[in-house]
Each structure stands twice: as structure tokens, then as C-alpha cells.
């Protein structure tokens, strides 16, 4: 942090300080920018232990339909145990299939160990498997006479 103040008569003061913003236990999900209907994925989360002793706890993944916020029952084992050694990271992952007719999925992942906990929640769009097919042809025209182009399909 760096602060600077000054007055109209050119008097000034400068202050600086070092700040550290971190939690003893942090959750960092590795999520894609979007899902696609019918895909089977592994959603992994890194759990970082910045404390000076080993942490053992549980992590939970919840999935919701983003429009209605109704829970999606697509996980076999939503709660998993983890152990993270002092000043190290570990990871957990869940396997599930993206349902059809859901426009977005909100995930919530929470890890708790002893007196420490952290979590993250975010919505991810779900793309359909339908594809727009566009027919195109190159249009070359030289001169000032009219020319007709036909798209047969």
C-alpha cells in the first residue's frame, strides 16, 4: 500500500505499508468457461492450506439450475474428505454429466477444516449441442453487368 497527500503550499506526506490478504484455507475451483449438454466432466478443486499444521476436513460441491435455483441431483458423492499438509495444496474432483435443457448451472464448492473454511459460487452457461449450419459460396464479380448467384442447398 502506498499513500501520498499534499497541500496547496506543496507540503506532502508519503506513507507505505505491506499488506498480506490470504486465508489459512483457500478453495480454488478449476472450472471451464462453459459446459455443453450431455458432456461428462471432472470438476476439480485445489485446496490450499497456508497454516503451519496439517488440515483434515470435508469439501462439498452443490449444483443448481441457475434459473430456478433448484438443486441438480447429478452427483454421486457431493461430500469428499481431504487432507492438506502444512503450507501445501491438495485437490478433490467430482465426475458428473451435464443435463439437457438447463441453460446455466450454478456451482457452490465449500471446504471446511477445523476452524477454517472457504468457498466459491458462480454460474456457468450450458451450450446446446444444436449447431447452426450456414451455406456459403464465394461471390466473384468483375465488370458492370448483372450476375446471378444461386445457393442450391
pLDDT digits (tens, 9 = 90+) for 99-143: 999 999 999 999 999 999 999 999 999 998 876 667 777 888 887
- Phi-psi region at 43: left, alpha or beta (left = phi > 0; alpha = psi -120 to 50): beta
The confidence score (pLDDT) of residue 132 equals 66
Inform me whether the pLDDT recorded for 151 exceeds 90.
no
The confidence score (pLDDT) of residue 133 equals 63
Inform me whether the pLDDT recorded for 152 exceeds 80.
no
pLDDT digits (tens, 9 = 90+) for 35-91: 999 999 999 999 999 999 999 999 999 999 999 999 999 999 999 999 999 999 999
Q: In the structure grid, which three cell numbers stand for residue 152, read together?
A: 442450391
CB 46 within 8 A of CB 62: no
d(CA 35, CA 50): 31
The confidence score (pLDDT) of residue 108 equals 98
| Residue 6: φ, ψ to 5° | -150, 160
Is the pTM of the predicted complex or chain greater than 0.75? no
Kindly list the strands in the beta sheet with 35-36, ordered across the sheet, starting from the edge strand earlier in the chain: 35-36, 116-127, 104-113, 55-65, 79-84
Q: Tell me how far CA of residue 109 lies from CA of 15, 82, 117, in angstroms.
A: 39, 13, 11
d(CA 58, CA 78): 10
Amino acid at each position: 500500500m502506498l499513500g501520498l497527500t499534499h497541500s496547496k503550499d506543496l507540503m506532502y506526506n508519503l506513507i507505505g505499508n505491506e499488506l498480506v490478504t490470504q486465508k489459512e484455507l483457500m478453495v480454488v475451483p478449476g472450472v471451464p468457461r462453459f459446459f455443453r449438454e450431455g458432456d461428462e466432466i471432472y470438476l476439480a478443486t485445489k485446496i490450499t492450506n497456508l497454516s503451519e499444521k496439517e488440515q483434515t476436513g470435508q469439501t462439498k460441491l452443490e449444483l443448481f439450475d441457475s434459473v430456478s435455483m433448484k438443486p441438480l441431483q447429478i452427483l454421486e458423492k457431493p461430500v469428499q474428505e481431504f487432507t492438506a499438509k502444512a503450507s501445501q495444496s491438495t485437490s478433490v474432483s467430482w465426475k458428473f454429466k451435464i443435463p439437457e435443457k438447463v441453460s446455466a448451472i450454478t456451482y457452490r464448492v465449500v471446504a471446511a477444516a477445523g476452524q477454517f473454511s472457504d468457498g466459491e459460487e458462480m454460474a456457468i452457461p450450458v451450450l446446446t449441442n444444436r449447431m447452426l449450419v450456414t451455406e456459403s459460396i464465394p461471390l466473384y464479380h468483375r465488370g458492370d453487368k448483372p450476375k446471378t448467384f444461386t445457393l442450391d442447398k
